[in-house]
Structure 1
Amino acid sequence: MDIGVLLPTGKAQWGTDGDPRDLVALGVRAERRGFSSLFVNDSLISPRIEALTMLAALAPATERVTLGTGALLAFLRRPVQAAQSLASIDLLSGGRLAVAVGAGFPGRFGRPFYTLSELPWERRFARLDETVALWRGLWSGATHFHGEILRFDDLPPATRPFRAGGPPVWLGGATPAALARTGRLYDGWLPYPPDPATYASGLGDIRRTAAETGRPASAVTPALFVSVQVDDRPENARRALDDYARAVYGMPLDELEKIQAVVAGSAPQVLHRLSRYVEAGARHLVLRPAALDLHGQHDQIERIAGLLPGLRAAAATAEALPPASGR
C-alpha cells in the first residue's frame, strides 16, 4: 500500500505570505512522516511552480519517495523535449519517477490550453497515446517513430532513464474509453471518482481489458487522487474543504463532491471513507491536503500521517479477503 501527498504547487495554496521555496521542505517532511510518494499537478498559465521543475528540485532533497505527476498535460510540451526532461528526472531521482498523464478536459483547462499550445483539440486522446509511445521508444533507444499523428525519422540518441524502458506511465480518467486504454496501454490508473463503487467497477473493467490483451492484473497500478481535510470537529473540516473548493475550483463543496473524490471529517471518519476506496481496490492513494496556506498544509500533513497505519491495515485486510470485482 502506497500513500502519497500532492504538494501545493499552486499559488492559491501558499497563502498571502507563503514562500514557495518551502515546498521542498514540505516534501521532505512528508517523506520523514512515512508517506511513500510526492505528486504535483500540472497547468499552463495558472500561477504555480511548473510540475517538472518541482520534481527536479525534489529529486536530490528526498531519498526514497516516488516522485509523480498527477496528471501531466503532455500536450503542453514538445514530445521529444518532454521525454528528455522526464528521463533526466528519473536519473536524478535514482529511478523514482511515476508519470501520470492526461489529455485535458472541456472547459477552461481544455480547448484554450490546446490553442495556446498550437495543437488541435481533435484527436487529443490519440495524440496522448502516441506521445507516450514515442517517449517509451526514445527511452529504449529508438531511432525513428511512425505514428498516425507523430512521425519522426533519424531521432538522435536520447537520455536514457535510470530504469530500462523508462518510468511507469499512468493514465487519469474514468470514461469507458479511458478505462479500455488504461488496460491496454498504461502502467497505472489515477482517477478521482466520488463513489468507491464506481472505482471498483472501473478497476474491474481495466483488469478485464488487460487480461484480454495478455497483460497480468499486476501490470496496472490502481491509484486514487482524493482531496482531504482532517479536523477534530467535522463541521470545521467540511467548512475548510468548502473554502478550498471555492478558491481552487470556483464552486462550492456540494458541487465539487459530485464530480471528484473529496473527504472531510474527523480522523476516524476520514480513515473510514478512505478505507472504502482501499476495499474497492485502490493501492496507491495520492492525498491532496485541502488547505489554503502553507501553515495549514503542514498541519494537514501531520494529521493525515496519523492515518497511515490504519490505511495500511485496511489494505492488508482487503488483500486477505476473497477476490471481488475490481480487486
Structure 2
Amino acid sequence: MTGLKVGIVLPGRESVIDDSPYPAHLASIAALAESCGFDSVWAGESPLARARINPLLALTAAAAVTERLQLGTAVLLPLRAPVHLAHELACLDRISGGRLIVGVGSGFASPATAREFANYGLDFTTRSARMRETAEICQALWAARGEPVSYEGRHYRLADAALLPRTHHPDGPPLWIAHSGPTMLQRTGNRFDGWMPTSTTPEKYGEGWDRVTAARQEAGRPAGEVTGAVYLSVAVNRSRRQAEDTLWSYFRAYYDLPLTTMRTTQGIFGGTPQQAADWLTQYIKNGARHLILRLPTDELTEAGYRTAVQRTADELLPLLRGL
C-alpha cells in the first residue's frame, strides 16, 4: 500500500530487566531495524512503574548509527516541565536531522502509574490536562523559532520564553497523540499531527479515527496533515498456538499480568505471518498508515529480540509491503 509505514519498538524495558550489556546494544538494534527495511523505531517511557531506558537517550543513540529511520517516542508521559521537554526534543530533532516524531500520552490508569506520578510530585488526576498543555507549549516554542513565547494555562505558564536550538522543520517535529478520549480526539484533528492509540480492535480504531477525521475536516485541514498510526503487539511464528504461547510468556514477564488482562487495554495478536498480516490489514482499512509493532518474545533476551526483528522483517514485512 502506498504510504504505509511499519516501525518496531526498541526493547527499552526488556533491556533493563536483567543486569546485562543489553542496553549498550540498543543502537545496533536500531541499525538492524534499518537494514531490515523497517521505517521507524520507537521508545516508550516509564521510569518507575515499568522501568526502562530513557526514550530520548535511546533514540539519540539510534540517531547516531542510522540515516533513514524515523525515530519516535511511544509514548512520553507528562512528567517533565514543558520547557525542559521542548528543549530536549528540539536537540534530538536537530541531532537526527529532522527524523523525530513525538508521541505523547497520559499513562494508563493503574496503581503503579499513579505511584509513578506521585513520586514525581505530580497529581495523577490532572495528567491528561497537563499532557495537552505540555504539547501546546512545545508546539508554540518550536514554531516561534527562537522568539519569545508566553502561555497561560491551568497548570503551566510561560513569560517571554525563547527556545534554541531551532527545530529542523519550521513548526517542529510532528506531534502525535495517543489519548483516545473524545476531547483529545477532537483536539488531535484540530491541531496535532497524528493519532497513535493502542486500540484493542480494528473496529475501535476505526471509530476513533473517524472522530479525528471529522475534527480535521471541520478545522479545514487537508487529509495529509494528520497521520493515522497504531501501536500493536504482534508475535509471528509457525502456528497460531506457538505465537499465543509466546504472548503468554512475554506479557507475564513484562507486566506480571496475564495475556487476557492485557488484551483489554492493547491490540495484541499472535499467529502465522499471513494471519498477522490479515489482522493488521483490518487496521489499515480503518485508517492506519503507520504501524508501530512491539515484538513479543518467549524470553526477554537480546538474542530472542534480534531473532524476532529478523523473522518479522523476513516473513511479515513483505506481506504488508505487498498489500
Q: What TM-score, normalized to structure 1? A: 0.90
Equivalent residues in 2 for 1:25-174, closer than 5 Å: 25-45=28-48, 46-73=50-77, 75-141=78-144, 142-149=147-154, 150-174=156-180
What is the root-mean-square deviation in Å for CA atoms of aligned residues?
1.7
What's 2:25 paired with?
Answer: 22
For residues 181-213 of structure 1, what are the alpha-carbon distances to aligned partners after superposition, in whole Å with 9 as ceiling and x for unaligned? 221231101111121111111111110011112
Instruction: Give the CA deviation at 1:44.
Output: 2.0
Q: CA deviation at 1:229?
A: 1.0
Q: Which residue of 1 aligns with 2:200?
A: 194
2:282, 2:163 → 1: CA distance? Answer: 46
Cross-structure match for 2:319: 310
Summarize deviations over 1:79-133 as a string: whole Å, max 9, x none: 1111111001100100000000011232135322322222223433222222112
Percentage of matched positions with identical amino acids: 35
1:248 matched to 2:254? The reply is yes
CA change 1:156–1:177 in 2 (3 A) is closer
Equivalent AA in structure 2 for residue 32 of structure 1: S
Q: Which runs of 4+ in 1 moved over 6 A?
A: none
1:17 to 1:105, Cα distance in 2 relative to 1, 3 A:
closer
Aligned positions of 1:279-318 closer than 5 A: 279-291=285-297, 292-306=300-314, 307-314=316-323
Alignment partner of 1:237 is 2:243: yes
In structure 2, give the amino acid aligned to 1:61. Answer: V
SS at match of 1:76: coil
Secondary structure at the aligned position of 2:124 is classed as coil
The one-letter code of the counterpart of 2:111 is R
Q: In the aligned structure 2, how far is the partner of 1:257 from the partner of 1:251?
A: 10
With 107-116 and 291-300 compared, the bigger mean Cα shift is at 107-116
1:3 aligns with 6
Task: Name the SS for the 1:154 alignment partner.
Answer: strand
Unpaired segments of 5 or more residues in structure 2?
A: none
* C-alpha distance in structure 2 between counterparts of 1:101 and 1:5, whole Å: 17
What is the SS of the residue equivalent to 2:234?
Answer: strand
| SS of equivalent to 1:158 | coil
- What's the counterpart of residue 322 of structure 1? none
Give 3-state SS (helix, strand or coil) of 1:21's partner: helix
Once the two structures are superposed, residues 147-190 of structure 1 have per-residue CA deviations (whole angstroms, 9 ceiling, x without a partner) of 22221213144221111111000000223233222212311011
Say if 2:90 and 2:142, in contact at 8 Å, map to a contact too.
yes
Q: Shift of residue 259 of structure 1?
A: 2.3
State the one-letter code of the partner of 2:210. Answer: G
1:17 is displaced (CA, Å) by 4.7
Distance 1:205 1:300, change over 3 A: same
